A and B are shown apart, each in its own frame.
Chain A
Amino acid sequence: MKELNELHLPDDIRYTDDHEWAKKSGDTVKIGISDYAQDQLGDIVYVELPQVGASFDQKQQCGTIESVKAVSEMYMPLGGEVIAVNPELEGAPELLNKDPYGKGWMFEVKPAKVAEYDQLMDKKAYLEMLKGLK
């Protein structure tokens, strides 16, 4: 598995302690899993995404990710309504491993409270948290 200095952690996105990322563009926020998450999970074989139109609170479970190691829960980094999901993932769950910040995005949310986004960790804070885990 990757060492901390081998991880790809973009600067322009926010991170959660469940190892998800969120990226705001305009009124909406795209959600995915971090490089650390995909590396820890190993080969991902199935993704169960939330339904478009469903609303969740922050931290609420909204889907599952199944890898060869385990089934893990997907949590909402911030509360809001799901307005789109990545249709590619059903047929190609490996996109989460190959391109977690690009083609492997999971779903898009219209946030209920924008403040929740601003409170998420930036790269520096996330990296600090990962150091604590290692």
Chain B
Amino acid sequence: MKQSLGNTGLVLQERLLWEKGRKGRSGFSFPKQDVPSAVLSSEWTGPGPDFPDLSEVEVVRHYTRLSTWNFSVDNGMYPLGSCTMKYNPKINEKEAGLSGFQNAHPLLPSRLNQGALQLIYELEQFLTAITGLDAVSVQPTAGAHGELAGMLLMYAYHKSLGSRRTKIIVPDTAHGTNPASAALCGYRPVPVKSNEQGILSVESIAQAMDEETAGIMVTNPNTLGLFEENLKQISEIVHAKGGLVYGDGANMNAIMGIVDTGKIGVDIMHLNLHKTFATPHGGGGPGSGPVCVRKQLEPFLPVPRVIKKDGQYVLSEDFPQSIGKLHAFYGNFGVMIKAYSYIRSMGAAGLKKASQLAVLNANYVKERLKDVFHLPYDRPCMHECVFTDKVQQANKIATLDMAKRLMDYGFHPPTIYFPLVVSGAIMIEPTETECKEDLDHFIEALRAISKEAEENPDLLRQAPFSCKVKRLDETAAARQPCLAG
């Protein structure tokens, strides 16, 4: 193996802000008071928040030091399965920082905000083209928020037909948030097992689907990284019983420009701009989970919606069947700008290529590691592959130990113990933005770890060694959480 990325170096300690500073210290000078003093009503006054008194340099050093403890896509490979931690091009930040966008007030009248409204309108158009569906709302601000929007749309649709259904089918390979979103909307999630190939069988859905069931929530590709090959037939069964098909599009990164979701029967789908469309996430920025629908569901989309009227973009609330408002103003606009910038800079051919490379990279990792790690579903995968710790269990080495050890080699660990259908799962999503040399480096690190599992298992049980904090007691942290400094 080449020299390990993981190294040790001087890591500076840093205290909490409340342990720093001194009373009266300040980072700026207050301007001279130029209005007369007035007494505030007592109901507006109080002790005030407990903010530490700090100088500018103390604040800057505090956050700069903390940032050196972090690991991000800008430092290295982050193969966190199902999270699509692809590189986020910096041009997107530049576009989002344009003063016209950055300084726009959300309450500006439409005529003074045409650029921002046009961007929302066009982004929605792009997303219809990418999904093959007919209409989009970019208002939901996270994947699970998009799912909730989808469930509310499903409810509104059935209600408009005078029907009240109580159940939603959720396969065991769906994203973990799916049953929660269904339950939050008052539906009862009905779990359905995937077949021995790791996908849904037509028969199991035919058996589960009835006229009490509002629809099905399918993650495609599913959390095993496998394409739901029977989805078209499954959609036909669900539609025949009057139900709707919800597609969790969080794994859209595998199929952009390749699969027309509308044609395989999906009626509602959310996308994650913060995954597929390269906007920062995981502490790096808020999310955005646009919900895309087929024509017959368009009247129910959240308001306000951006429409085009007499050549002008305007915000309209005139959708009497709408499920209403889901977020303050219009959603996370900054995220929309970055996703818009990404789509425009990639173009249709570029997005398709991104998906092809995401799938190629995952299959490359899978093929190069399957002789040392157990691969429960040995078939072509999409954008991610799932291994287990079955081979290493012979030496009582668990997935967790290997994930911890990977940090010593300078990589972020993959997603572990998910999906739940695979015991000891190691879920790797390399994304399209890793080059072959980096993939090879990652593969060599995991191969070295599998060797260590045989030759020196205790090393793995104590890992990591090079990180700022070593093996944490996760159980104590969860059972007796310390949530304040």
Contacts and interface: CB of A to CB of B under 8 A. Distances in A.
Interface of A: 1, 40, 42-43, 45-46, 60-61, 66, 68-73, 93-94, 133
Interface residues of B, number: 18
Interface in B362-393: 393
Interface stretch (B51-59, B223-231, B474-482): B474-482
Contact of B475 (A1, A40, A60, A68): A68
A73 B418 CA distance: 14
A60 B393 CA distance: 32
B420 interface: yes
A79 to B, nearest CB: 14
Given A61-B189, A69-B417, A94-B479, A43 B396 contact: no
A93 B398 contact: no
Interface string B460-485: 00000000000000110011000000
Contacts of A1: 393, 396, 398
B423 interface: yes
B479 A93 contact: yes
A40 B423 contact: yes
Contact of B420 (A46, A66, A68, A70): A70
A68 B100 CA distance: 46
Interface in B406-425: 416-418, 420, 423
Given A1-B393, A61-B189, A72-B420, A45 B398 contact: no
B285 interface: no
Nearest to B172: A73
B189 A68 contact: no
A88 to B, nearest CB: 14
A105 B282 CA distance: 37
22 contacts: A1-B393, A1-B398, A40-B423, A42-B400, A43-B474, A43-B478, A45-B475, A45-B478, A45-B479, A60-B188, A61-B189, A66-B478, A68-B475, A69-B400, A69-B416, A70-B417, A70-B420, A71-B176, A72-B420, A93-B479, A94-B479, A133-B423
B429 to A, nearest CB: 18
A45 B396 CA distance: 22
Contacts of A66: 478
A18 B423 CA distance: 13
Interface string B156-188: 000000000000000000001001000000001
Contacts of A70: 417-418, 420
A43 B473 CA distance: 11
Pick the 5 closest A-B CB pairs, nearest first: A45-B478, A43-B475, A69-B417, A68-B474, A70-B417
Contacts of B417: 69-70
B182 to A, nearest CB: 11
Given A61-B189, A70-B418, A133-B423, A46 B393 contact: no
A61 B396 CA distance: 32
A45 B423 CA distance: 19
Interface string B184-201: 000011010000000000
Contacts of B396: 1
Nearest to A70: B417
A17 to B, nearest CB: 10
Contacts of B393: 1
A60 B189 CA distance: 9
Given A66-B478, A93-B479, A94-B479, 9 more contacts: A40-B423, A42-B400, A45-B479, A46-B478, A61-B179, A61-B189, A61-B191, A68-B474, A69-B417
Interface string B423-441: 1000000000000000000
Contacts of A60: 188
Interface in B391-406: 393, 396, 398, 400
Nearest to A72: B420
Nearest to A17: B193
A68 B418 CA distance: 12
A111 B482 CA distance: 41
Contacts of A45: 475, 478-479
Nearest to B393: A1
A72 B420 CA distance: 8
B14 to A, nearest CB: 27
A54 B417 CA distance: 31
